[in-house]
Structure 1
Amino acid sequence: MEARGIIHSQNITLLAVIVLSIMIALMVTTPDFLSKKRDSEVIYTNIGNRWHKIDLGAFSIETPSEFKYIKEQGIDSYVGLITNKIDTFYFDYGWYSNELDEQGFIRSYDTINGVPAITVFSKTGGAGVHIPKANEDNKLTVFSSTLHKELAFDIFSTLKISGRNGRTTKPLGEKFIQGFSKGKQLFNTNCNVCHALDIKLVGPHLRNIVQRTNREWFVGWIQNPTQLIKTNEKAAKLFYEYSEMKHPVYQYSKEEIEDLIIFTEALEK
């Protein structure tokens, strides 16, 4: 009886060791298993015109069908590449995603899928989008240094964050790029004698002037400042603040005014 009891105790101990070993093995392998499962669940859905949607879990994006997801190892973010082996863009989803605020980027505020975003492009190549609050504390950055700007913004405009609903708008694009250039030329030709973008000169600074007033106010100040001063209290206060200096009248076209607004609203670093 005593020997049988010892054998029974040894069997229990051996079984416990086996169970513990299995549990340790599971604990070690589970994170990698879950990672592989997440990658295997990346879903490609054809949407016509030789494009497909890539569902990456945290968000989805639409690209030409030859672009494929490639896993990258992130330290504290969900990162990866999407490439057709010629052009590539990367994404970084997490707390510390690159805010794309480096020197040389022309930045503009926009919305993508109803979510506030910052879109950027560089004169020397490269375009990207940064969503400061993609979901709770997570940020999302998508950037390409090789894609043509038009294709890049076509792709970025399809971003949809999981759990966020809204209407998708196309950020930037050729209209913005051309408008920025034309608006800058108008500003340098007619405005910068009295105005700067970010500091007061003879007149007030003009960065985000439409956000600080409104479009109708801005157009009135350009095309009929005397009438605006008579009918708008804020314009009158500004007139007296700057020593009652008369503003020149410019009969800009609607397109020229739009170009000037694009330039004054953009953030160039």
Structure 2
Amino acid sequence: MAELDFPGGLPRAITPPDEPLNDVLHAAGYTAAVEWGKARFYRGMVELAGGLAHMGFLRSQALLNLFSDANARTGAAYTLGELFGVMKVGKSAARSAAVEHLYGLSDKRILMRGYVVPCPVCKLDNWISVSKINERVACSGCLAAFQMPLQVHFSYKLNQVYLEGLVQGALTVLLTAMHLYDGGAPFTWQACTVAEKGGGRTEIDLLCKRGDALVVVECKDNFNAGSDAAAFEEQVRRAKQVSREIGAEFAFATLQPAASIPAAVQSVIDAVGASVLDRDVLLHGGVKTLPYE
């Protein structure tokens, strides 16, 4: 199991995700299970933050710039000045807000604090967490032991759980869960559910229950020019069918602006009658599109 560094420095294994909504699928004749390989990282991201109610930082444009940065997603470490560049904040109120967010993420161990130290033997840059600092440290490459420099600046990198979740599409899923949760009604959600019936297999990105209302959501962070349009259409139609059979609303969510949704994708969405939760809705509330809101 993957290990997380939680506030206080005590490692804790990611708990297996609850599957509280599988019963509604079972009642419609489906077998259902959460795909633990992906869901553990989504749940881990939420656990580190302290729950969905504490994930408002995902709506910060500056932090979205960081979470979307290709190098940050591969584990790159940045100095504070470099972080400001990645976050695209100048010397303004935006930077002050960014600093507050960074303090919060560092406190929750979502943003890991450490040092980048070059090995004097093989010259490899080593990133060393503050929790692992000793007077002498070992190079992660050649394994040579060497003394820490007398002066070195902090560097910051994303927690491995966030790295894994982000590359697997967690942003849109979690922002959508937050949007639906904001209504204040009793709320339950699960991500990465696989429902099977009659030889057909449907991957449900997000399944939610708010009050007595069920919602099935197909989620996309972005659109790739080379993606398989036919496969996308089949997936959407399967998800729509599941939503119909369990009496759920069906929505399509994307982190992209409505104007950036490709015509072929929009055509599929229109054909199945899906509500659309686009970037404006997910980040700013936008227009409430689901009928029970």
TM-score normalized with structure 2 length? 0.23
Per chain length, whose mean CA-contact separation is higher, i.e. which structure has more relative contact order (CA < 8 Å, sep 6+)? 2
TM-score normalized with structure 1 length? 0.25
User: Larger Rg: 1 or 2?
Assistant: 1
